[in-house]
Amino acid sequence: MSRPQLPRKGPTGHRIGSSHPNSKLDEHDVGLIRELAEYLRPSEIAKKFDVSKRTINYILSGRSHAYD
């Protein structure tokens, strides 16, 4: 019998990634963002995903969504 998947939590115990209730991006989106970064500017990617340019830069630098 399989166990139910628990929400991912960071070192402080808070939900992280797509398990966070306010998350706009999932793991698939993050992969797409990294692929699009080869062709588009962060500001263009941010508009497509309805997130801030800072969020895109954090993803690309590995500061955020480092699980991929």
Kindly report the average pLDDT of the chain as a whole number.
Answer: 78
pTM: 0.70
pLDDT of residue 15 exceeding 60, the answer is: no
Please check whether residue 68 lies inside any domain of the structure. Answer: yes
Mean of pLDDT values over 40-54 = 95
Return the HEC string of 10-64: CCCCCECHHHCCCCCCCHHHHHHHHHHCCCCCHHHHHHHHCCCHHHHHHHHHCCC
Number of domains in the chain: 1
Domain range enclosing 62: 31-68
Which of the pair, 2 or 46, is modelled with greater confidence? Answer: 46
Per-residue confidence at 63, pLDDT binned at 50, 70, 90? confident
pLDDT number for residue 68: 45
Please check whether residue 11 lies inside any domain of the structure. Answer: no
Please check whether residue 41 lies inside any domain of the structure. Answer: yes
